[in-house]
Structure 1
């Protein structure tokens, strides 16, 4: 009874499938776990049978069903304990079997134990695969990978790379625990020792230092170490990775030199990724754009630095084809101001693959300003030369011609006075008078022009009555209009007043009036009128004379192109009067406009500020 209770306890308190066979080969006990493993509906089906007979019920479940019964008989005949026999099932399961012969004065027989180890075998297989992959990966790495158990204090080289990196095999480190620190370059001893202290205090450390191999070669190492603790905080294992970073350090040093050289460059240099985002800018770039530091420039799109949004697109389009872009632009500084620069851009490639965009900017603002000043000076020089040519032309021809007339007619009067009739003498005297008036006009214009060119003319504005100013300006010259029967009308209010320089405006009105008389036929009409628009006044001098072509109008105020046209009665002129008018109107902050049509007449408009 005691033995049966003992067996009962074993069977019922285990999750493993148990079956007990007596010494006379009869099954006396089987648990439900066994029945579930072998798809046996009820334990009563196999009680009283032998184990061989029992398993034959489910023999078709085994991969080697034909030998299953003989295997059982072999185990019983050998009568030895056998543990952990693996059995493969057709449904993919893996069972583990133990055979235990029992020889006890109270109990004898055979105990069979069956366990489903399918999941554990699967996990083991995955672990083996994972470990294999890990070993393959570790062995492919160029780094030193090591570990040390605190129990045996032995360093294990996990990928056989100690000798390749340190120049010594793992065995040398086992002999001399201080070998790793002895290999460190003197300049890096303090770094390595500080890293070791950090490892002891925090459980982790990272450091970079140089070592000297036994062959004298110096290499840089990036050393990472960590300690593994158990749940009680006791260190159980230490491991680390040491990487050869010599190439990286050399590259960093080269890049540092290049970066220093780029920063020392007087031209602005910027690098952007293929999307146009700036990731590098030298000091000249930062300064040229008016920023305080590089951080303010980085991570911005190149379009933020361009005056035209289309120019960066054009640059990228050109350099994307492998071409070098060279052009001029007007980028925008941080404060919104623009500057002139030459832009050189190129697509940087590595191994035929685009890497980034590089652009160089040369500030040519001063050069551009000098070019503008040079153009202005050239223009002024051309004007001076034209003025000089005009001046000599006037002296050589326009001033000389009236004197030839004066000398000729006065000579006739002196030599033939008695023989000439009164009408002839009067005609000669009138011709002399006309010549003197012409000379007087010319001299007046020349004197005013000379004063302007010498900078001796100053504007002094005062309150003026427009009608009075017009009358005073044209009165000495009305005789010319009367001689041609030209009707002069003043459509100007007696009280109309404005502010201007009296002398210069008189010169303008006088010249424009004489010009209208000159080109108006006998019996024509000249009309003065005035209008006011906001704070400006508009004085119009309109005639119904011969008019001008558009080509002629375009040359009116150009001293080097303006050629005077003879009047309706052959009156001569220099063209200087209109140029003088434009100078005076400009100095009064006004405008001088002209409208004309051939055969219908001309209208000059003087536009001046009222105040």
Structure 2
């Protein structure tokens, strides 16, 4: 057999040993150090695998790494033994192991590359392996057990023999060089293979022998411990076979029951078991015998040999042999008679204490309930609201708390129409109720038990609502399920004005609930009447104040109208008449130049008067609601340019420029006539109060929902006091224009009314001697 085949065989054998060790690990829950042994077998296996690839892979891998793997396997087994004997791995062991690996690696590398010497490498490997074998043997002897001294000494001796074999090889190769040639023969190769195989298998076998000896020792100790516990335990133990025959009892069982094993064999279970507990014991043991159940525990009574009744805690379990077959039932009993007697005394004392405590609790609860009821009435009386509905909602919640109910309702009642009208339901009802078509008005004749409060004019209590009751007429599908029910009539001045009800209290409703609910609702109704009275007074006051305000506005409107008619409308006609007389005289004298000037004044005065009349007419229509309002989409530039064309003549007289700016074509939703009136008044005002050579600018900016228009000038401007009164009829002051033009202030009032009619707003920015800007907004689409 060539060397490569030998190494392959050794690889397979050690790989098998590693797998075999891993399989053993899976079968045993406790096998300390076995993981180290599995790894060491794999190290050896892969070391032989690398040896077999000599001349196919680099020498550093096939020689140096392979030799190091053998050394690592030996060191790993030393660590495994430490773990097997539950010894701590010291720092010195780690240092020595690391140093050994480094030294070994350097020596093997030097005799591979610097001087290729097979025998030197073999000697080095044998020296290190013999050292590991000696350390292993010493470790086993150090941890030998007195009971198994022979096994430990034998195992240690085997490892010492391994060490001796390795040392003999070294001495033979060193002292007798001529022997080296023998190792080149096939026979010696086969013998080396056989010796390596024996060493690897024996080394692993010895480890399993130690584990087997350890398990044997643990089993013996467990048996001794079990026997000691069995004989000296505080619990009585009885062993019963599958047929119910008594197998054994421990001394404690005899002490608890007074019977010996021979006496127990003669007795049946019925003799020592208290009659009331016998059936459940027989049933449990029968079921355990047929393996329907595997365990049973309960507190039962047994009869002592002297006739006394003894309480015991009984625990019964089925025991199985190693093959998983039924072996016996282990019954364990603890004498708990003293404990049970103490428990009974405690129970009796506790019952008495609970009775006294319950009486105190009931008295305390009654006091707390009375206090809560008084506080509830106080909360309702102090509840600040001007809304009767808020008061009744609050009162219903208080009624539910007061009676510890779950749900409630309040219905108004009309004695004339004999109808109930829903006022409020509690929040829980609204979340739980799934009635599709809920009614809010009920005729008295169609109602069931809750209508009985009106028919009988007294409270109705039903504490078994689910039972049959002649008053009930059924509930619609999806209605909240009722269990207990209380409803009362609210009687004011011998007249039923409402009914209040609560339901689903945990305990029964009683007279205390009726009294408290009645008292609460009586107080609530008196408070609601007071709120209603105050509300009527406030409404009457508001109506009177509104009438007074409207009357003041009407008077202001009348005064303003008379002022305009008496002065602002009369003055232009006086001027026109005066200029007409002068015109006739100049025409008669053929003074046409002055006549032309007079005609210009007459025309201007007539236009101003016409504008004033238009404003008066529009204002009158606005005040009386006769103004036509038909908004539609308008192109803004088509409205503004004609306004500018009309006003340009008056602007040119004062050398005033008028400019219009817009960022894009803008459409607004407005009444054309009204929008023209707004713009005409604002542009006319701007010209009127702008100095000669000034400017008037019209600007439009489109926004998301509306368009913002502004008319600005660099004229006389206004103070804040004037601005504050500008849109108040009868308050504003009539100011003359820069060329003596007169105004009434009516145009701006019209502008405000017309802008607000479109849903917009108008505002002003102005400073004296710097000019004014009038802003207003118009919607882009229907509001």
TM-score, normalised via structure 2 length: 0.34
Which structure's residues are more often helix, by fraction?
2
Instruction: Flag the structure with higher strand content.
Output: 1
